[in-house]
């Protein structure tokens, strides 16, 4: 059955603010000119996320406003060499891993040059426009516009060679190194900078599509985000090919058939995904992280916010090896290792829930009982040097993988999915921290060897996770919890070392859930479609389709999920995750 009902562009419709959003440069110009009419001396600040096309912004908007004084805030930025020296400890020499930055944006600017720009603004008359990343460091703005950009779009611009890192002329540098600098430094610093700006911005400018901008008033944006925390919603999934990628998502989600495969889908990773807000005829795309940064408490709940801050700690994504190859053989760092080496305060515990599995599909999980750890490490090192293939049959357990199986993978457990599987990966969010131990001798799609981090992995493998331990603790731990008319609930994990609780609900009739003060993330793992509604009509009914991941903010409280449409009378299933109290 082809499930082409999967919505690749889910939107949150915001009612009552239709006249507060504009699309196209001409409408945006007019909206700002209306605001500027008869204003006397006015300072317009257009602060930007790194990667915004400043030339397009200047030519299509700023020049049309006719400023008496125009200042690019980047004139006060430190030189490329100065920035490199400042950031060297965070950048490291590694191709993939850096250290999370605690810098503030003003550290990247020359104080004397900032003061000189501020003096120019003070002395000017008429309309003054200050623009560029860090523009609000020059002046707080009589009118503040924030030009935003989704991280996935930034990555596409990295890949085409259009974009280097902020303050660096490195458009031709290895994409992984540019991504590393963005992940560990730029996005952290600019998220800190933009959060207070978004709380007071007069306008948000969506710059994701070239020559096709959209803008919304700050008041309407904040109202829209607040509304989003009171209802179920989805973020915008993105799909990516990979050397091991499969064909299942291409068929089931009606993706571009010209692509060779699809390996990943980030179906719920708010730090990376976009959020689409619909204001009448205007669609605004923002990083979904903006919602987390501005309204973490109603979204996450008090306990989750107190523990994680403005970070969304649960990740749902897809790994497709149907018609593809094995994932890389890998391990994730222990908590103390990720804290001490990378500055992250929690690690990537995870699990594999099997949405689909072909006959013969397997999951590699844990080491075989009785092996010599050093012998396995030596064998991996020989494989990495190209001397031989890693003898996985000798050292690693393989478990048959069937539809609806659930494999738990606490950090420190060696693992990978074999070919022929469609995995719903439920995990903690810091997904970049994967130590590849062996990649089956493959090159990446870029023709380069894929990074292997055996030296890191050797430090974190838990050798007690052997055949007997893994079988007892990590494979298909389904426990009945509750049942009612037409439904039953099962606890499926995760392991006690993991902070995420997961439950599976089978249902042919409505079943009531409750957030209990913490954010819930769910996926419809069986059945064509379901209806999510409020027993008290607190939010508009929300339809989800097979394999779609959706978020229930903590503030929602009670909600109900029912078979819907073509699924009426059928048995459906959801997988639900939340942070344990």
pLDDT over threshold 70, residue 4: no
Which phi and psi angles does 114 have, rounded to 5°? Answer: -60, -45
**Complete edge-to-edge strand list for the sheet that includes strand 558-563:** 511-514, 558-563, 529-533, 542-545
pLDDT at 38: 75
Lowest mean pLDDT among 272-281, 392-401, 434-443, 512-521: 434-443
User: Are the C-beta atoms of 322 and 356 separated by less than 8 Å?
Assistant: yes
pLDDT at 327: 95
Class of domain 12-228 (CATH, top level) = alpha beta
pLDDT over threshold 70, residue 431: no
Give CA separation, 207 vs 23, 153, 185, 222, 495, in Å: 11, 10, 21, 18, 42
**DSSP-derived secondary structure for 456-508:** HHHHH--TT--HHHHHHHTB---EEEEEETTEEEEEEE--TTSSEEEEEEEES
Other beta carbons less than 10 A from residue 531's beta carbon: 17
Distance of CA 367 to the CA centre of its chain: 31
Q: Determine whether 49 is exposed, middle or buried from the number of CB atoms within 10 Å of its CB (0-12, 13-18, 19+).
A: buried
Which phi and psi angles does 254 have, rounded to 5°? Answer: 55, 55
pLDDT at 94: 87
Give the pLDDT confidence of 93-132 residue by residue, as tens digits.
888 889 889 999 999 999 999 999 999 999 999 999 999 9
Give CA separation, 35 vs 29, 214, 327, 396, 409, in Å: 10, 17, 54, 66, 55
pLDDT over threshold 50, residue 165: yes
β-bridge mates for residue 128, sequence order: 43, 69
Give the three-state DSSP class for 150: coil
User: Are the C-beta atoms of 133 and 147 separated by less than 8 Å?
Assistant: no
> Which numeric CATH code is attached to 248-473?
2.60.120.10
pLDDT at 449: 67
Where in the chain do CATH 3.40.50.300 domains reside? 12-228
Lowest mean pLDDT among 49-58, 174-183, 219-228: 174-183
pLDDT at 368: 98
**DSSP-derived secondary structure for 170-183:** -TTS-HHHHHHHII
Report the half-sphere exposure of 248 (CA within 13 A, side-chain side): 25
Q: Determine whether 508 is exposed, middle or buried from the number of CB atoms within 10 Å of its CB (0-12, 13-18, 19+).
A: middle
Give CA separation, 412 vs 45, 145, 157, 423, 495, in Å: 48, 45, 34, 20, 12
pLDDT over threshold 70, residue 322: yes
* Residue 482 neighbours by CB under 8 Å, 6+ apart: 488, 489
Instruction: Please choose, from the candidates 347, 352, 498, 502, the residue with its C-alpha nearest in 3D space to the C-alpha of residue 417.
Output: 352
pLDDT over threshold 80, residue 344: no
Q: What is the mean pLDDT of residues 406-413?
A: 95
This prediction has a pTM of: 0.95
Task: Quote the CA–CA distance of 338 and 217 in Å, as a whole number.
Answer: 40
Give the three-state DSSP class for 529: strand
Where in the chain do CATH 2.60.120.10 domains reside? 248-473, 479-579
User: Are the C-beta atoms of 467 and 366 separated by less than 8 Å?
Assistant: yes
pLDDT over threshold 90, residue 551: yes
Task: Quote the CA–CA distance of 543 and 475 in Å, as a whole number.
Answer: 32
User: Are the C-beta atoms of 408 and 474 separated by less than 8 Å?
Assistant: yes
Give the three-state DSSP class for 318: strand
Q: What is the mean pLDDT of residues 33-51?
A: 93
Can you say whether the dihedral through the CA atoms of 313, 5, 233, 534 is positive or negative?
negative
Average pLDDT in the chain: 94
Is-cis flag, bond preceding 86, omega within 30?
A: no
* Residue 462 neighbours by CB under 8 Å, 6+ apart: 334, 412, 413
pLDDT at 3: 46
pLDDT at 1: 38
Give the three-state DSSP class for 523: strand
Can you say whether the dihedral through the CA atoms of 104, 105, 108, 114 is positive or negative?
negative
Q: Which residues of 249-262 are buried (b: 16+ CB within 10 A; e: fewer)?
A: bbbbbebeeeeebb
pLDDT over threshold 90, residue 253: yes
Residue 57: which region, alpha, beta or left (left: phi > 0; alpha: psi -120 to 50)?
A: alpha
pLDDT over threshold 80, residue 408: yes
pLDDT at 2: 45
* pLDDT band with cut points at 50, 70 and 90 for residue 186: very high
Q: Which residues of 110-124 are buried (b: 16+ CB within 10 A; e: fewer)?
A: eeeebeebbeebeeb
Other beta carbons less than 10 A from residue 4's beta carbon: 11
Task: Quote the CA–CA distance of 209 and 190 in Å, as a whole number.
Answer: 20
Percent of the chain residues topping a pLDDT of 90: 87
> Which numeric CATH code is attached to 479-579?
2.60.120.10
Q: What is the mean pLDDT of residues 382-400?
A: 94
């Amino acid at each position: 059955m082809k499930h082409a009902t999967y919505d690749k562009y889910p939107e949150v419709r915001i009612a009552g603010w239709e006249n507060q959003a504009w699309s196209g440069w001409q409408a945006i110009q007019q909206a700002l000119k209306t605001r500027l009419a008869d204003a006397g001396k006015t300072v317009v600040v257009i602060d930007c996320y790194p990667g915004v096309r400043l030339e397009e912004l200047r030519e299509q908007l700023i020049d049309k406003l006719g400023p008496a004084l125009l200042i690019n805030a980047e004139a006060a930025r430190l030189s490329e060499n100065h920035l490199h020296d400042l950031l060297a400890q965070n950048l490291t020499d590694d191709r993939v891993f850096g250290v999370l930055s605690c810098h503030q944006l003003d550290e990247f600017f020359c104080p004397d040059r900032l003061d000189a720009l501020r003096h120019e603004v003070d002395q000017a008359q008429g309309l003054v426009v200050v623009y560029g990343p860090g523009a609000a460091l020059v002046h707080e703005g009589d009118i503040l516009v924030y030009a935003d950009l989704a991280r996935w779009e930034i990555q596409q611009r990295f890949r085409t060679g259009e974009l280097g890192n902020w303050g660096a002329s490195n458009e031709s540098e290895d994409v992984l190194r540019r991504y590393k600098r963005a992940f560990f430094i730029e996005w952290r610093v600019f998220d800190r900078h933009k959060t207070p700006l978004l709380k007071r911005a007069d306008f948000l400018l969506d710059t994701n599509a070239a020559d096709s901008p959209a803008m919304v008033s700050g008041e309407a944006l904040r109202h829209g985000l607040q509304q989003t925390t009171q209802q179920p919603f989805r973020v915008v999934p993105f799909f990516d090919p990979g050397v091991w990628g499969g064909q299942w998502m291409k068929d089931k989600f009606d993706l571009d058939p010209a692509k060779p495969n699809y390996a990943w889908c980030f179906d719920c990773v708010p730090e990376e995904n976009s959020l689409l807000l619909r204001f009448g005829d205007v669609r605004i795309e923002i990083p979904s992280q903006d919602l987390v940064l501005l309204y973490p408490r109603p979204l996450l709940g008090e306990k989750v916010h107190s523990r994680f801050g403005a970070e969304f700690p649960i990740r749902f994504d897809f790994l497709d090896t149907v018609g593809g190859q094995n994932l890389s053989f890998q391990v994730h760092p222990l908590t103390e290792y990720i804290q001490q080496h990378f500055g992250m305060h929690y690690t990537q515990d995870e699990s594999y829930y099997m949405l689909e599995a072909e006959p013969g599909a397997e999951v590699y999980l844990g080491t075989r009982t009785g092996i010599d750890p050093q012998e396995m490490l030596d064998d991996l090192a020989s494989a990495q040097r190209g001397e031989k293939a890693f003898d996985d049959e000798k050292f690693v357990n393989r478990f048959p993988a069937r539809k609806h199986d659930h494999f738990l993978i606490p950090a420190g457990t060696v693992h990978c999915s074999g070919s022929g599987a469609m995995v719903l990966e439920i995990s903690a969010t810091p997904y970049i921290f994967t130590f590849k131990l062996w990649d089956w001798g493959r090159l990446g799609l870029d023709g380069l060897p894929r990074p292997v981090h055996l030296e890191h992995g050797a430090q974190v493998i838990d050798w007690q996770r052997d055949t007997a331990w893994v079988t007892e603790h990590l494979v298909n731990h389904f426990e009945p919890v509750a049942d009612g008319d037409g439904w039953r609930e099962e606890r499926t994990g995760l392991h006690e070392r993991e902070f995420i609780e997961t439950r599976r609900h089978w249902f042919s009739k409505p079943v009531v859930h409750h957030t209990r003060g913490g954010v819930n993330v769910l996926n419809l793992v069986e059945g064509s479609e379901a209806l999510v509604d409020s027993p008290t009509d607190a939010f508009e009914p929300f339809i989800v389709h097979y394999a779609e991941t959706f978020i229930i903010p903590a503030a929602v409280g009670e909600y109900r999920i029912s078979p819907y449409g073509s699924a009426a009378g059928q048995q459906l299933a959801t997988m639900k995750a939340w942070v344990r109290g």
